């Protein structure tokens, strides 16, 4: 048994066109060699399926750059990766920057698209950067609303000027970081921003979101929080502001009902291992504050270390042999689902490893088993319609996984943007007790392969399982419902949504007698459900006269409860008549002022 531990925009369209209106409203391994060259994912040689047993472990490939305090030219290498990735919003480059335990001085690690930075200690304080891990928006003229797909994890930062800048939008998690100073979540000059997610972090100083329209912070310790725009949600955060929605719009829960932190790679005596944090109930504060975190770990020898070009057949062979999967940075095409059938299996991606299903396949399926951990990868829909992209549990799954739930963390889904993609439903959660902790499920509103029917995707997330918990749920732009919830006793803490910008007219979104599809719909037969800090925005750019009856739909029963809801019309591009069902005032004119409901029913 593993040891336990103690405690590119569409042609002819400016890249800012789609999201500028949003921002304008808001402004009111130990032995791995140091890699000297940058290889692209396309350069990886295909790995053929092998009938013989596959070995676990292996090198992490050319797109994982590993540094130690004695490595020469670290800043130059960081700058080289950043220059390549800074504006490569829909490019093919994928990189993980890993720092061995120790102290690094005078660094500024600027992160572009599909770039992850992480320390390799068991605690964030094992790896200290006297400097910054920076995300800014120079590439986009000060607009950070498209600063997607980048991450920082498991480091201690001593910012050069006392405050670290992390100006991000969706799909950019900040996990297990100790900031020995302040944290600024807005771009230089306090330009536009639309994020974001923090978990298991300690920020000694203040967090300043400034122009950030919404943010979710979970199970952390902060020195203070300075302001809010529309929707700031906290659960299990020491130092969080008091509950005060809607003025200022703070939704504050003392604890997080259930949480289990994301698996992470670390070094133990010169060998790579993957740490698996244990589940917490009624969690509050960081997992690593009093010594090492609680959980178990697995040696890398128990993982099949995959490289781009490997087939789904080989990945499934590795899983069938009892190996876990570590997906190194790159793009993986699969002609059939990656099938996870064994309890406690880990599928961990590095550097935004991206799975693309071919010929209408589902990218990944999980059986109705205990304790599967999916973390740190992107699923990108292919040009042939997939009925689903990710399925957690088969239809009708009913086993109780209370003691050991499946977790889906920093798993992101995209339909279009990098090319034409289609999927009827992006993510289906059938297994009971599943925890979805930070996801962005996005039908692209800009990029290539984008149009009402070009990147058709009717539904974002469908939850059929009972007792499912979502913490940090971002779902945007689907042709019909963004979220449909049919399981009993579901809970969501923080929801951010935009309705599809490109609906051509009112008739295109008509839902029987209802004007438009709700962003978040709880099924008519559900008798118990609860949600906190929920926002839906409309920006009907193709027809500003479109009317959306409501952002949220739910049965009117005492067991189905909502707290702190808002809807916003961005610059008057479309209108909401109500917030939830027939409750809540309509959005007004072009003022971009939220309409709010404190509790429902």
Token pair belonging to 569: 């019309």
Q: What is the CA radius of gyration of the chain?
A: 22
Cα–Cα separations (whole angstroms), residue 61 to 38, 316, 365: 11, 20, 26
Task: Compute the distance between CA of residue 8 and CA of residue 447 in angstroms, rounded to an integer.
Answer: 5
Task: Compute the distance between CA of residue 269 and CA of residue 207 in angstroms, rounded to an integer.
Answer: 35
CB of 499 closer than 8 Å to CB of 519: yes
Report the phi/psi class of residue 533: left, alpha or beta, with left for phi > 0 and alpha for psi in -120 to 50.
Answer: left
Task: Compute the distance between CA of residue 417 and CA of residue 445 in angstroms, rounded to an integer.
Answer: 7
Task: Compute the distance between CA of residue 71 and CA of residue 61 in angstroms, rounded to an integer.
Answer: 18
Task: Compute the distance between CA of residue 550 and CA of residue 32 in angstroms, rounded to an integer.
Answer: 54
SS (H, E, C) 10-67: CCCCCCCHHHHHHHHHHHCCCCCCCCCCCCCHHHCCCCCCCCCCCCCECCCCCCEEEE
Give the helix/strand (H/E) hosting 453: none
First to last CA, the chain: 49
Residues 6+ apart with CB under 8 A from 372: 340, 343, 344, 345, 346, 347, 366, 392, 406, 407
Task: Compute the distance between CA of residue 358 and CA of residue 77 in angstroms, rounded to an integer.
Answer: 34
- The owner of tokens 């330009």 is 191
DSSP class of residue 418?
Answer: B
Burial class (CB in 10 A: 0-12, 13-18, 19+), 7: exposed
SS (H, E, C) 516-559: CCCCEEECCCCCCEEEEEEEEEECCCCCCCCEECCCEECCCCCC
CB of 413 closer than 8 Å to CB of 375: no
Task: Compute the distance between CA of residue 473 and CA of residue 534 in angstroms, rounded to an integer.
Answer: 9
Task: Compute the distance between CA of residue 218 and CA of residue 141 in angstroms, rounded to an integer.
Answer: 30
Catalytic annotation, residues: 498
Nearest to 407 by CA among 126, 150, 151, 199: 199
C-alpha torsion angle, residues 304, 310, 311, 317 (rounded to 10): -20
DSSP class of residue 464?
Answer: -
Vertex 11 angle, CA 10 and 16, to 5°: 50
């Amino acid at each position: 048994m593993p040891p336990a531990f103690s405690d590119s925009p569409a042609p002819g369209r400016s890249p800012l066109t789609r999201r500028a209106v949003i921002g304008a409203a808001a402004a009111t391994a130990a032995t791995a060699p140091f890699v000297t060259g940058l290889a692209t994912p396309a350069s990886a040689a295909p790995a053929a399926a092998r009938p013989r047993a596959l070995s676990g472990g292996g090198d992490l490939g050319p797109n994982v750059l590993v540094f130690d305090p004695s490595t020469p030219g670290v800043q130059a290498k960081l700058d080289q990766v950043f220059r390549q990735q800074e504006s490569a919003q829909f490019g093919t480059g994928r990189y993980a920057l890993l720092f061995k335990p120790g102290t690094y001085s005078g660094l500024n690690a600027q992160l572009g698209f599909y770039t992850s930075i992480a320390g390799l200690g068991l605690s964030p304080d094992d790896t200290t950067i006297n400097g910054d891990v920076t995300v800014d928006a120079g590439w986009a003229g000060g607009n950070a609303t498209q600063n997607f797909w980048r991450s920082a994890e498991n480091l201690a930062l001593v910012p050069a000027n006392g405050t670290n800048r992390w100006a991000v939008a969706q799909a950019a998690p900040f996990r297990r970081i100790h900031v020995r100073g302040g944290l600024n979540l807005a771009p230089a000059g306090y330009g536009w921003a639309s994020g974001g997610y923090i978990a298991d972090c300690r920020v000694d100083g203040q967090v300043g979101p400034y122009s950030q329209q919404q943010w979710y912070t979970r199970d952390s310790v902060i020195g203070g929080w300075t302001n809010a725009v529309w929707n700031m949600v906290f659960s299990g955060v020491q130092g969080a502001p008091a509950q005060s929605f809607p003025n200022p719009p703070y939704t504050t829960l003392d604890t997080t009902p259930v949480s289990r932190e994301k698996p992470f790679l670390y070094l133990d005596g010169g060998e790579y291992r993957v740490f698996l944090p244990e589940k917490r109930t009624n969690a509050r504060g960081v997992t690593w504050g009093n010594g090492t975190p609680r959980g178990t770990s697995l040696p890398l020898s128990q993982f099949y270390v995959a490289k781009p070009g490997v087939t789904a057949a080989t990945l499934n062979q590795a899983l069938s042999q009892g190996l876990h999967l570590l997906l190194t940075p790159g793009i993986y095409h699969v002609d059939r689902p990656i099938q996870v059938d064994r309890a406690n299996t880990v599928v961990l991606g590095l550097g935004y490893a991206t799975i693309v299903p071919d010929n209408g396949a589902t990218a990944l399926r999980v059986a109705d088993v205990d304790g599967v951990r999916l973390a740190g990868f992107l699923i990108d829909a292919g040009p042939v319609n997939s009925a689903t992209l990710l399925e957690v549990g088969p239809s009708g799954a009913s086993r109780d996984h209370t003691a050991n739930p499946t977790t889906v963390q920093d798993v992101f889904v995209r339909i279009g943007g990098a090319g034409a993609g289609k999927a009827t439903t992006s993510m289906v959660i059938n297994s009971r007790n599943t925890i979805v902790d930070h996801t962005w499920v996005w039908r692209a509103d800009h990029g290539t392969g984008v149009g009402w029917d070009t990147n058709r995707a009717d539904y974002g997330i469908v939850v059929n399982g009972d007792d499912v918990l979502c913490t940090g749920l971002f779902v945007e732009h689907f042709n019909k419902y963004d979220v449909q919830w049919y399981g009993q006793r579901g809970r969501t803490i923080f929801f951010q949504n935009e309705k599809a910008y490109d609906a051509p007219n009112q008739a295109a979104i008509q839902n029987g007698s209802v004007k438009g599809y709700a962003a978040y719909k709880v099924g008519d037969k559900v008798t118990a459900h609860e949600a906190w800090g929920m926002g839906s925005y409309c920006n009907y750019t193709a027809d500003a006269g479109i009317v959306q009856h409501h952002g949220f739909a739910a049965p009117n029963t005492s067991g189905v409860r909502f707290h702190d809801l808002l809807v916003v019309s961005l610059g008057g591009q479309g209108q909401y008549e109500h917030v939830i069902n027939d409750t809540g005032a309509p959005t007004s004119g072009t003022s971009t002022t939220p309409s709010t409901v404190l509790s429902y029913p």
